[in-house]
Structure 1
Amino acid sequence: MNFAALVLLALAMSTDAFAAAIGKGAAMQKPRFFQALRIGLLFGVIEAITPLIGWLIGSAASEWVSEWDHWIAFALLLVLGSLMVREGLSSEQEEEKAAPQNQSLLMLALTAVATSIDAMAVGVGLAFIDVNIVQASAMIGIATMVMVTIGVMLGRLLGGIIGKRAEVLGGVVLIGVGATILYEHLA
């Protein structure tokens, strides 16, 4: 996987956390930069750990599926991307409309874990291709930290307008990364 594909993957993995951060930022009263940065750091660390866990799981099974690895990575990314697009296009009522203004660390961590489950599945797929998992995980974590920090700061201004669009874009990018992996292995 080339560097450009890793950058796109990292950005795609951060979009659901970005959408959640906009909601968190909208629920907070005038979030300060250091509050946003702390939330971004929490999300980024969790988002960086989950692909490593997924990669370890996928590596344990890689010798049995080495002939099909590119198809597995493509299928996982296609499914995850499609789910993100569907979620982004759904017309749900506003979530957390009556959310408390100050979020506890535990609630923020649980939100971060919930938004990073897809990164674990991506980590499973990455175990079947030639990729530096430490570099990929670090890029995912950094992108998530930056996107969440920005999301919290923008949340008060933008509310739910951008959140769903970011998730749709992230899903499309995941599908594109999966198609690129498949193309590289079949070409």
Structure 2
Amino acid sequence: MGEILDLVLLTISTCLFYFLSNFHTYNIGIKEGFQSPLKDALHDMLPDFSKYVYLRDVVLILFLVPLYFVYKNGTFLQYVYEFWESFMFIVMLKAITIFFTFLPASNPECARKKQINHCFHQIFSGHNSFVLLLCLLYLKYLSWSEHHFLLIVVISCTILYSFFILMTRAHYSVDIVISYIIVFLMYTQ
């Protein structure tokens, strides 16, 4: 019961700090006005799908489909607990980074619309962190011998999703690289 209470307190404190950081960053972004995005080599090489940025949320939901196999495996609650605990620490770290560092929006259209979410959330990608953490935990909780095809698809789609985030201009390349580093470091601890 103590572990659940700790997780609830972690979730509440993370959400509060994340919303505070979000509000703070949004106000700085509005005060600073529109700034040109930073130069990004992969943005220059990849096609511009910035008008489809909303699809990153839709595609992200598809990564939850393999949870069915984790459920059938009998390790669903362990998986969810481990995922949630790890992801809350990632979100807390993201909140800290966006609170202290302001970067111009990687998607100029987002900044012009003055949307409160995601425009100025640079440093590392929460979406990419979410999907990568799901993938790593699928590798841990699903048997390779039984689910090798599914796991290969999940790994491939995780990598493609990183490029999709870049194509939508939702993040800079460095945001994706840092999300990989953070998730791998957290996962291996």
Same fold (TM > 0.5): no
How high is the TM-score relative to the length of structure 2? 0.31
Q: When the two structures are superposed, what TM-score results if normalisation uses the length of structure 1?
A: 0.31
**Structure with greater contact order relative to length (CA < 8 Å, sep ≥ 6):** 1
Structure with greater Cα Rg: 2
Higher helix content, 1 or 2: 1
